[in-house]
Amino acid sequence: VNCKMSTEDQIAPLSPKTSPATPTITTFTQRKESNSSSEDNRQDSWELVEDLQGLTGNIQKPEKQEGLLLKKRKWPMKGWHKRYFLLERGILTYAKTGTDLKKGRLRGRIDVGLSVMAMKKKSMCIDLDTEDSIYHLKAKTRDLFEQWVTQLRHHRTFRQNEITMEPPERPLQSDPTANRRETLNTVTFLDLSECESALLELNLLLKNMEVLHRTFSAPAINLLQVGLFACVSLYLWIKYVFMFGLCNKFVYMLSCYWPKSTKPIMTQMFSTDQEVLVGSRPLRQQVSSESRGSIPESLSEFFDAKEYLLSGSSSENEASDDDSYVSDVSDSTSVEFCRNENGVAKEILSNGNNCAVTRRDHLPSTRMNESVNLWSILRSNIGKDLSKVAMPVQLNEPLNTLQRLCEEVEYCHLLDTAANTHDPHMRMVYIAAFAVSSYACSFTRAGGKPFNPILGETYECLRPDTGIHFIAEQVSHHPPVSACHCKSKNYTFWQDVRWKNKFWGKSMEIVPMGVTHLELFADRYEWSKVTSCIHNILSGRRWIEHYGEISVKHSTTMGDVSLCKVTFLKSRSGGLNANEVEGMVTDSNGRVIHSLFGKWNEALYLGKPPSATCIWRANPMPEDHEQYYGFTQFAIELNELEEGLKPLLPLTDTRFRPDQRLLEEGDIAGAEEQKERIEVLQRERRRVLQENNITHSPRFFKRAEDDSWVSNGTYWDLRKDPGFSKLEFPVLW
């Protein structure tokens, strides 16, 4: 007889602050499978490991488990790599080798009790989803897989019980005198080879301090509230890092973790003994004329400080032995390069009517916050593609995927600049900046998802201020494919986007497919998108991360001329090097011509610090953007339907879609009702097509020889003559 928790009990979240619940255990007799195929299907699917239900005082301390496992890396070297793991008291640490682990040279640390654990028996894979990263592990043999799964289950239960009985704040209340003696001994005998692991411990200490800070409701936290132990330990670590000349790493890491309200305390502690020096100069803070965020959020704040990022605890990208990144820059000479064209408040639409329009600066309604039990929707979809899972309208933002494609051309002035640049390598720099800029709008948008387009749905964007003629159409439903085409006097830009979504317990990965194309006169450029990951899907503050490599290839009738590779760095523990990108432009011989660096949500710089030049900077956000779905000003304008434009658009245009319009106006109930009705209509149209053996044919796009979707060149001509009001379109809503 096997014992297993019921499905209802398995999905109950673990909360150390709630009262303990009585565990419910259901017994069942294991049934013999009727055929081998059903067993294979079960083993080939992801199995979610249940959480502990309530307190269990007699959980035996688990034995240590250690050995080699395969760990998947996504950057910079894809594939499975051997790592040595140690599982002790519910904490899983790993290093490159067992010797490194003993010496404290850790590559990462995972609290198994606070992670969502899923496993796939057939491929012998184990996934651990923390709040920050997803760890993909794999065993080489079946016996080793079963052994690790058994131990991980035991340690996870033990750790969850330990967390429930002893909240994380408790260790900070221990005897300060004893802890001070222990810390002094540690500092005395540490050597340079253990410096990295020591900084990792400080990293974790600061995390605990941040947790403590959040538990107090007071606007500021003083030294007494932090606790004597934490202050003494921190002070000794400060002395330690200065002793070994590591102040640059420490300043950056400390700025990333220290709560904003305690910055005066940090300054006061630094001023107790010695001045923070970088080379021969004191640390100098410079702030540009525009607001650029807090210390950990901006590259532009400490121009003169060389801030090397700590390799510390990483997730799927592990730091190399020589993995420093210099982020000091100066954009004093970049005025002519990073000026953005926001358009004007009033403009004349070239729609035949020459009507003046004033573009709106906010949505009709702020975001309506209604609770959604997302876990009940997603719990059975671990490791699966979420594009086929119906989601409530509360999770949406009042924009469509077709409109999100249009957001990628917000900074199209970079393409105009590229078209007017004669140097092919410098032209590549501006094109790379354009590719990076397409991700800027996502920084404040992790809280919602765009509406999925209906098959045959279209979107048009005509902007005289930038000269673009943009169209998009949903050309396929299964799999979902969105195609777009944008032209101006200087360039033609097109792409079709298809992607796979995978939910890993706390995070969701979005893996795009397809190629982006750009033509500048006789030259053609192509690149692919990077992987995106939305963290803290179920709880906490959601945030988005992009990682991978964009490789911009340039080709002409004379063959390949240049290449640009831009790497989106994966965040390390605690958000270090978050949002950073690095790139280089090479000639046909592989010689580096230009170097690039920056942040995809802020700016991109050409050259090397401190003489780097700003090539692109993100437009400032509206003051109240948090209340309006995190939209940029450009995004706010996308779904606006001017009176003079209504008779010129096809009825399939997204701006006529009722569920999206109702959500924009704050009517969630009405939007949900319309969304369900529209989905029913789509299923009915699909059934009719299948019964009559008819394949859907897109109206404005066609399939090319390379299996991509390109414009058939009819949209703008049909818009003029005979006009869309004289043409028949399917009823989409």
Question: Residue 387's pLDDT is what?
Answer: 62
Mean pLDDT of 20-26: 36
Please determine, for residue 349, whether its predicted confidence score (pLDDT) is greater than 60.
no
pLDDT at 157 exceeding the cut of 60: yes
CATH 2.30.29.30-classified regions of the chain: 58-163
User: Is 470 in a helix, a strand, or coil?
Assistant: strand
CATH of domain 58-163: 2.30.29.30
Residue 337 pLDDT greater than 50, yes or no: no
Instruction: Determine the Cα–Cα distance for residues 264 and 255; give it in Å rounded to an integer.
Output: 12
Most confident of 175-189, 315-329, 534-548, 582-596: 582-596
Distance CA 639, CA 459 (A): 10
Residue percentage of the chain with pLDDT more than 70:
62
Higher-confidence position of 273 and 523: 523
Domain 374-726, architecture per CATH: Beta Barrel (2.40)
pLDDT value for 161? 85
Tally the C-alpha atoms within 13 A of residue 72's C-alpha that lie toward its C-beta.
12
* pLDDT at 411 (0 to 100): 97
Q: Give the pLDDT score at 539.
A: 75
* 353 pLDDT more than 90: no
SS3 of residue 98 by DSSP:
helix
Query: Rounded mean pLDDT of 319-344?
Result: 39
Residue ranges of the chain assigned to CATH 2.40.160.120: 374-726
Question: What is residue 43's predicted lDDT score, i.e. its pLDDT?
Answer: 63
Beta bridge partners of 288: none
Six token digits for residue 283: 């640390």
User: What pLDDT does 378 receive?
Assistant: 66
For residues 501 and 300, the model is more confident at 501
pLDDT reading at 604 higher than 70? yes
Digit-coded pLDDT (tens) for 511-549? 898 899 999 988 999 999 999 999 888 777 889 999 999
More confident residue, 316 or 152: 152
483: pLDDT strictly greater than 80: yes
Selected residue with higher pLDDT from 234 and 509: 509
Q: What pLDDT digit, counting tens, does each position of 324-333 carry?
A: 333 344 443 3
**CA distances, 519 to each of 257, 427, 522, 595 (Å):** 44, 12, 7, 23
Higher pLDDT, 161 or 256: 161
CB atoms within 10 A of CB 520: 21
For residue 408, what pLDDT is reported?
96
pLDDT at 97 exceeding the cut of 80: yes
Residue 49 has pLDDT above 50, yes or no: yes
How far are the Cα atoms of 170, 466, 568 from residue 109, in angstroms, in the given order? 20, 49, 23
* Contact status, residue 466 vs residue 453, Cβ threshold 8 Å: no
**pLDDT confidence bin for 502, thresholds 50/70/90:** confident
- Please determine, for residue 639, whether its predicted confidence score (pLDDT) is greater than 80: yes
pTM: 0.63
**Lowest-pLDDT choice from 14-18, 92-96, 629-633:** 14-18
pLDDT tens, residue by residue, 61-72: 899 999 999 998
- pLDDT at residue 188 is higher than 50: no
Q: Which two tokens stand for residue 614?
A: 């700003």
pLDDT at position 598: 96
How confident is the model over 255-267, as a mean pLDDT? 44
Mean pLDDT across 458-476: 95
Q: Are 503 and 386 in contact (CB under 8 A)?
A: yes
Percent share of the chain, pLDDT over 90: 44
Lowest model confidence (mean pLDDT) among 146-160, 265-279, 445-459: 265-279
Query: Per-residue pLDDT tens for 661-692?
Result: 999 999 999 999 999 999 999 999 999 999 99
Q: At what angle do helices 247-257 and 195-215 cross, to 10 degrees?
A: 20
Residue 629 has pLDDT above 90, yes or no: yes
